[in-house]
């Protein structure tokens, strides 16, 4: 086996079964329970055809394993070009959050019972530092089970099923050493918000959801205690001003900010993705909140979905944030008459841009072609001459909606 291998990622091959996997391991001279030292990361997310014995065998076979991904589904689906946990589909499908990602189907889910997870982590208490277990059932979590998380520094339990008491127990046991915590699509009560703010003060990354505006004060109080927070994502907010929350973020160290309100997809009649409708709420982030970002000179990623901000303020924002590398802007369809991108030329370090229902002029396209962009997503309701982007020397991929993606190979562009 090549000594340069450090990662085993089977997530793109969700249909792989035990026999196929064993053949792969044999071909690469990897033996189960042989404690192969060079593998540090294992990802089995979405591999629903694998048996529990195989999952245990793989996870226990690498003595240097420090990163384990056992998500119910493969993350970062390319089919819809959406970030995970952005749009949700109703009605619910056995999830505590009462939501379901558009690209997820329960019959193709990798399910890892808590008792199995306890067994796996129990043998690796000094090794595993990063654990991602999205969409798993953690309902029976108790104090003695929560001890298995005590060594974890980066934890992702987004869309997991668990009780508030179980979550509070987990935070009490593991919160002190957590550096990154992602728990999107999990509703928190007052005590859990309080526990989060008091017990997880070393957090650098926090991704959370909040649908009840009555908890905005709790969110604000929690954030005010996280003095080291650099990466903040908040989803599912259906109403309530976010200005006071944004103002609690430390502008000197904030590097990533991702804000999106409640966005649902409803199926019309049968479960066919061709017959859908969406509901999208305005993000109650005003110019007062955006002005706080003017001082965030370390910010490299900014994603704003339906902000109540004028084009002039967005122009000023671009002037103050020339260091941005990733920028996303979504507008409601009725807001399309204003050019929000006049300040685009100031973003001289931009690597990725995602624009939804935003006016894109030919002048804007010329500007995009001049920036050091590697990826462009343009989901607009007007005809766009995307070939202008072919002038770009750095651009590698373009996405214009479902079934309209292009990738550069060498000096030529190909439709995917």
Residue 107 clears pLDDT 90, i.e. is over it: no
Residue 44 clears pLDDT 90, i.e. is over it: yes
Say which residue, 239 or 185, is predicted with more confidence: 185
What ranges do the domains of the chain cover?
A: 310-416
CA distances (Å), origin 106, targets 69, 100, 187, 350, 403: 18, 9, 21, 37, 24
Residue 208 clears pLDDT 70, i.e. is over it: yes
Residues in the chain: 416
Write down the pLDDT at residue 200.
96
Residue 338 clears pLDDT 70, i.e. is over it: yes
Q: Which long-range contacts (CB under 8 A, 24 or more apart) does 102-109 make?
A: 102/265, 102/273, 103/73, 103/77, 103/79, 104/72, 104/73, 104/135, 107/48, 108/14, 108/46, 108/48, 108/73, 109/46, 109/48, 109/72, 109/73, 109/135
Phi, psi torsion values for 95, nearest 5 degrees? -115, 140
Percent of the chain with pLDDT over 70: 86
Beta-bridged to residue 156, according to DSSP, are 132, 182
Using pLDDT thresholds of 50, 70 and 90, give the confidence band for residue 277.
low
Q: How far is CA 381 from its chain centroid?
A: 26
Q: What is the mean pLDDT of the chain?
A: 86
Mean pLDDT for 250-255 is: 97
Write down the pLDDT at residue 95.
41
Report pLDDT digits (tens) over 291-321.
Answer: 999 999 999 999 998 888 899 999 999 999 9
Mean pLDDT for 323-349 is: 88
């Amino acid at each position: 086996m090549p000594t340069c291998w450090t990662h085993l990622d089977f997530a793109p091959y969700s249909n792989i079964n035990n026999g196929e996997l064993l053949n792969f391991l044999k071909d690469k001279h990897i033996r189960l329970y042989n404690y192969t030292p060079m593998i540090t990361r294992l990802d089995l997310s979405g591999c629903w055809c694998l048996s529990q014995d195989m999952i245990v065998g793989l996870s226990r076979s690498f003595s240097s394993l420090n990163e384990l991904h056992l998500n119910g589904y493969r993350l970062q689906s390319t089919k819809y070009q959406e970030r995970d946990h952005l749009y949700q589909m109703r009605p619910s499908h056995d999830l505590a959050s009462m939501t379901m990602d558009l690209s997820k189907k329960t019959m193709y889910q990798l399910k890892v019972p808590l008792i199995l997870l306890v067994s796996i982590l129990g043998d690796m208490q000094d090794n595993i530092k990063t654990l991602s277990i999205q969409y798993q059932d953690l309902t029976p979590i108790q104090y003695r089970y929560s001890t298995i998380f005590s060594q974890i520094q980066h934890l992702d339990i987004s869309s997991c099923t668990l009780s508030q008491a179980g979550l509070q127990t987990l935070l009490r046991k593991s919160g002190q050493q957590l550096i990154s915590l992602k728990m999107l699509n999990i509703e928190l009560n007052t005590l859990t918000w309080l526990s989060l703010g008091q017990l997880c003060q070393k957090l650098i990354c926090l991704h959370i959801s909040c649908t009840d505006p009555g908890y905005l004060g709790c969110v604000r109080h929690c954030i005010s205690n996280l003095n080291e927070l650099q990466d903040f994502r908040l989803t599912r907010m259906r109403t309530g001003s976010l200005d006071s929350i944004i103002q609690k973020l430390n502008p000197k160290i904030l590097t990533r900010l991702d804000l999106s309100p409640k966005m649902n997809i409803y199926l019309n009649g049968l479960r066919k993705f061709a017959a859908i409708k969406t509901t999208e709420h305005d993000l109650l982030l005003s110019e007062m909140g955006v002005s706080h970002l003017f001082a965030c000179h370390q910010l490299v990623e900014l994603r704003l979905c339906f902000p109540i901000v004028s084009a002039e303020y967005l122009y000023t924002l671009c002037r103050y944030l020339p260091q941005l590398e990733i920028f996303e802007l979504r507008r409601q369809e009725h807001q399309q008459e204003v050019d929000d991108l006049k300040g685009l030329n100031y973003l001289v370090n931009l690597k990725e841009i995602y624009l939804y229902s935003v006016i894109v002029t030919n002048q804007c396209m010329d500007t995009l072609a001049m920036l050091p962009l590697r990826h462009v997503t343009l989901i607009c309701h007007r005809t766009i001459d995307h070939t202008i982007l072919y002038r770009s020397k750095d651009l590698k991929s373009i996405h214009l909606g479902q079934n309209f993606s292009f990738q550069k190979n060498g000096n030529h562009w190909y439709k995917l």
